[in-house]
């Protein structure tokens, strides 16, 4: 009879033989096809949605169905011709896979568009809507809700929208409300990325509370607010649920400056920690290793539902689920295949997620980590100082050093791959993000554990009314607060380092970041098949080339912009900058416009404004001037009276505010700004600056333009550059 050890050895041999025989087949037969399918889904979705809005949205339903059907039939016909006309079956198979994936993506996107955007687009009038409140926020004018349509609505059920009201909030998260108001379907990609398809402006119309419902998320958030106080409350809510509402703006800015804001959005870090903790817990309870991971999926997906199924959380959940299924089926884990499957599932369910910033950051950075993290970890572990320390320390210390190298490698990859997106969306990227990650990410797991324990003990206290449970909940909350304050302490310390952020709105810097990514991919190409010497040579070449590119691009831009007056424009304001000095002329009507102007001033190296001049009749709609003044103090503030005048006066921090009537100012070494009865005039070296829509030109005489001074508006690029003589004045 076989002994227990022999049976176990036999099972292990069988398992390894299955894995060994299936590994190559898995990589050859599953990995590449699923990657082809994922990238095809991405490409088709990126092309179909804008083309649908341009060419098909205004057509009839029959015309749209016939057009899409003909395209799908054409793809299938081309696949059949390819199989009969190409002798190399491998090439024909790849073409067929890509073509059929494109057809599937096309039909899926068409169905999603018809179900959501097209359905709402042609709806007119003031519908009667019943909806569930998902989020709410108090604003200066009243309140703003994020809602989802319910059963008894004139609109289809399950559509998300933003509701604006002048009244005070009448409902909490989870409640059902009813109202009648006009809808607006012209929205931006930012909201569509969150699957928001229309706005509702209730104004002063009454909003009725139809039914009170307390969701589990709202109950947990309420318990969290009872146990924690600011600023720890904002960190705990952000880490656990991705909720940033209770984190003050200075702390958010501090975390953004050091590249740690991602810990306040539920992503792969949080899901991995939850899955690992639950798996270890189930193994301690005696559940076999193969099934411990399967049981851990229940709390993982419960946690994702509490995070409101954000794209980054869903991506991590899908990849974790596929890892667990691979373990149950005795298959090697393949991160790229799991990543591709997550792309397909999310875009199949919600194609508009492609426009979500969260989706773009999560999938792009995760792809970089999959491709580059392990080679960079090897390089860090084999550097001379670390190799010297690891050779003279114990096993436990060596394990901690390897973990630190892995965190540093992933942070480097995340910083490099996120740089193009950061520069495009926010015009800034954190310089010291790797140092901040190494010092603070270790505190995320104990923070999550102790905060969850404190919330559970708080619920038990309310159920049993035992004082000892309340004391234990507060003790656990106190320990969690220590780790939260450590994250804030690290953020504050690193944010005090000079040049903590790299600002840029230049296309050159964007291209440099893309080139750095391509060089990094060349560094890790066939990394396991080259010698150690070749690996180190590649690493040195990547570092030298990246530093050279960044330094040369910065030097070229500084040299090119020396003594140049740059003129930018937003919807309501004109921004003038030269050699680190700046002025803002016009109005700022929203926080979005204030953020846009602030990013331009940061990118131009402006720290203090020479002049902030509001040329509107009043400040009744100037909801962003005070926000800009808080971040950029101005030597002279010229604004009229109005609704927001007191807010602006407070933001000016004691500086005298002058009336804009009849003002005449000369600044930036030759720019004159005059306010007359005819309006505001700008003169550059005694030549009038003519504004014609979004184009600018220089005039010597009235209605006579000098030179070809018109430039189209690029994204946050100056509409006009003027070479100035002399130094910038005040």
Distance in angstroms (rounded) separating the CA atoms of residues 651 and 634: 10
- Range with lowest mean pLDDT among 93-102, 285-294, 694-703: 694-703
Distance in angstroms (rounded) separating the CA atoms of residues 240 and 650: 35
- Assign 10 a pLDDT band (cuts: 50, 70, 90): very low
**The pLDDT of residue 4 is above 80:** no
Number of other residues whose CB lies within 10 A of the CB of residue 230? 12
Alpha helices in 391-443 (DSSP H): 395-425, 433-440
- Coil, helix or strand at residue 399: helix
Task: Write out the E strands in 587-640.
Answer: 609-613, 634-638
pLDDT at 717: 57
**The pLDDT of residue 12 is above 60:** no
User: pLDDT tens across 52-71, in order?
Assistant: 888 888 888 899 999 999 99
Strands 160-165 and 196-203: parallel
Question: Among residues 675, 677, 672, which one has the least CA distance to residue 688?
Answer: 672
pLDDT at 87: 62
Question: Among residues 524, 543, 526, which one has the least CA distance to residue 367?
Answer: 524
Tokens of 239: 């880490």
Q: Which residues pair with 574 in a beta bridge?
A: 569, 585
User: pLDDT tens across 388-437, in order?
Assistant: 888 888 888 888 999 999 999 999 999 999 999 998 888 889 989 999 99
User: pLDDT tens across 165-190, in order?
Assistant: 888 888 888 889 998 888 888 887 77
The backbone region for 229, taken as left when phi is positive above 0, alpha when psi lies in -120 to 50, beta otherwise, is beta
Question: Among residues 424, 412, 421, 298, which one has the least CA distance to residue 363?
Answer: 421
The backbone region for 370, taken as left when phi is positive above 0, alpha when psi lies in -120 to 50, beta otherwise, is alpha
User: pLDDT tens across 601-639, in order?
Assistant: 988 889 899 999 998 888 888 888 988 998 899 998 999
**The pLDDT of residue 676 is above 80:** no
What is this structure's pTM?
0.85
Number of other residues whose CB lies within 10 A of the CB of residue 432? 19
Q: Say if residues 239 and 447 touch (Cβ distance below 8 Å).
A: yes
**The pLDDT of residue 278 is above 50:** yes
- Assign 540 a pLDDT band (cuts: 50, 70, 90): very high
User: pLDDT tens across 474-514, in order?
Assistant: 999 999 999 999 999 999 999 888 888 888 878 888 899 99
């Amino acid at each position: 009879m076989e002994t227990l050890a022999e049976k176990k050895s036999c099972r292990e041999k069988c398992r390894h033989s299955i894995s060994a025989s299936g590994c190559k087949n898995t990589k050859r037969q599953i990995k590449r096809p699923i990657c082809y399918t994922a990238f095809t889904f991405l490409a088709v979705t990126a092309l179909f949605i804008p083309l649908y809005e341009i060419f098909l949205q205004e057509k009839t339903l029959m015309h749209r169905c016939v057009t899409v059907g003909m395209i799908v039939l054409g793809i299938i016909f081309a696949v059949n011709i390819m199989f009969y006309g190409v002798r190399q079956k491998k090439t024909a198979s790849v073409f067929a896979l890509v073509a059929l994936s494109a057809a599937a993506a096309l039909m899926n996107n068409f169905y999603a568009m018809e179900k959501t955007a097209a359905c709402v687009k042609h709806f007119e009038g003031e519908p009667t809507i019943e909806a569930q409140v998902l989020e709410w926020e108090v604003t200066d004018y009243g309140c703003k809700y994020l809602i989802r349509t319910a059963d008894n609505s004139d609109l289809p059920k399950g559509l998300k929208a933003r509701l604006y009201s002048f009244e005070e909030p009448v409902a909490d998260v989870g409640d059902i409300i009813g109202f009648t108001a006009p809808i607006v379907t012209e929205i931006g990609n930012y909201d569509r990325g969150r699957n928001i398809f229309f706005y509702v402006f209730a104004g002063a119309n009454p909003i009725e509370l139809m039914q009170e419902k307390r969701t589990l998320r709202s109950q947990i958030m309420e318990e969290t607010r009872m146990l924690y106080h600011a600023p720890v409350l904002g960190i705990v809510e952000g880490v656990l649920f991705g909720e940033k509402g209770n984190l003050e703006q200075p702390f958010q800015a501090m975390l953004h400056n050091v590249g740690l804001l991602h810990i306040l959005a539920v992503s792969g870090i949080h899901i991995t920690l939850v899955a690992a903790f639950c798996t270890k817990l189930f193994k301690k309870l005696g559940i076999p290793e193969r099934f411990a991971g399967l049981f851990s999926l229940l709390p993982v997906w419960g946690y994702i539902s509490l995070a409101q199924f954000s794209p980054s959380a869903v991506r991590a959940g899908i990849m974790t689920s596929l890892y667990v299924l691979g373990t149950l089926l005795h298959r090697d884990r393949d991160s790229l295949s799991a990543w591709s499957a997550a792309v397909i599932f999310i875009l199949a369910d919600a194609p508009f997620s492609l426009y979500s910033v969260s989706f773009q950051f999560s999938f792009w950075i995760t792809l970089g980590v999959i491709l580059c993290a392990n080679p960079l970890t090897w390089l860090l572990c084999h550097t001379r100082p670390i190799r010297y320390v690891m050779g003279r320390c114990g096993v436990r210390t060596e394990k901690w050093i390897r973990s630190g190298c892995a965190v540093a490698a992933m942070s480097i990859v995340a910083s490099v791959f996120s740089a193009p997106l950061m520069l495009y969306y926010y015009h800034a990227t954190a310089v010291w993000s790797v140092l901040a990650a190494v010092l603070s990410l270790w505190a995320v797991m104990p923070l999550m554990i102790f905060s969850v324990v404190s919330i559970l003990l708080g619920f038990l206290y309310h159920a049993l009314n035992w004082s000892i449970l309340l004391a234990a909940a507060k003790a656990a909350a106190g320990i969690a607060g220590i780790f939260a304050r450590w994250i804030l302490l690290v953020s504050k310390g690193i944010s005090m380092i000079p040049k903590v952020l790299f600002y840029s709105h230049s296309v050159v810097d964007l291209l440099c970041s893309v080139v750095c990514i391509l060089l990094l991919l060349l560094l890790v190409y066939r990394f396991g098949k080259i010698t150690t010497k070749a690996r180190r040579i590649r690493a040195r070449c990547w570092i030298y080339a990246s530093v050279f590119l960044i330094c040369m691009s910065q030097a070229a831009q500084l040299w090119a912009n020396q003594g140049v007056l740059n003129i930018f424009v937003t919807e309501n304001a004109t921004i003038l900058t030269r050699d680190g000095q700046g002025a803002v002329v016009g109005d700022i009507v929203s926080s979005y416009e204030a953020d846009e102007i602030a990013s331009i001033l940061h990118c131009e190296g402006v720290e203090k404004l020479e002049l902030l001049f509001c040329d509107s009749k009043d400040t009744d709609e100037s909801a962003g001037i005070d926000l800009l003044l808080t971040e950029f103090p101005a030597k002279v503030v010229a604004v009229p009276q109005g609704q927001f005048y007191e807010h602006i006066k407070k933001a000016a921090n004691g500086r005298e505010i002058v009336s804009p009537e009849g003002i005449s100012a000369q600044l930036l070494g030759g720019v004159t700004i005059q306010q007359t009865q005819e309006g505001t005039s700008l003169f550059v070296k005694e030549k009038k600056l003519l504004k014609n829509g979004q184009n600018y030109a220089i005039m010597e005489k009235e209605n006579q333009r000098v030179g070809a001074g018109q430039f189209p508006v690029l994204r946050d690029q100056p509409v006009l550059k003027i070479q100035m003589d002399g130094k910038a004045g005040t």
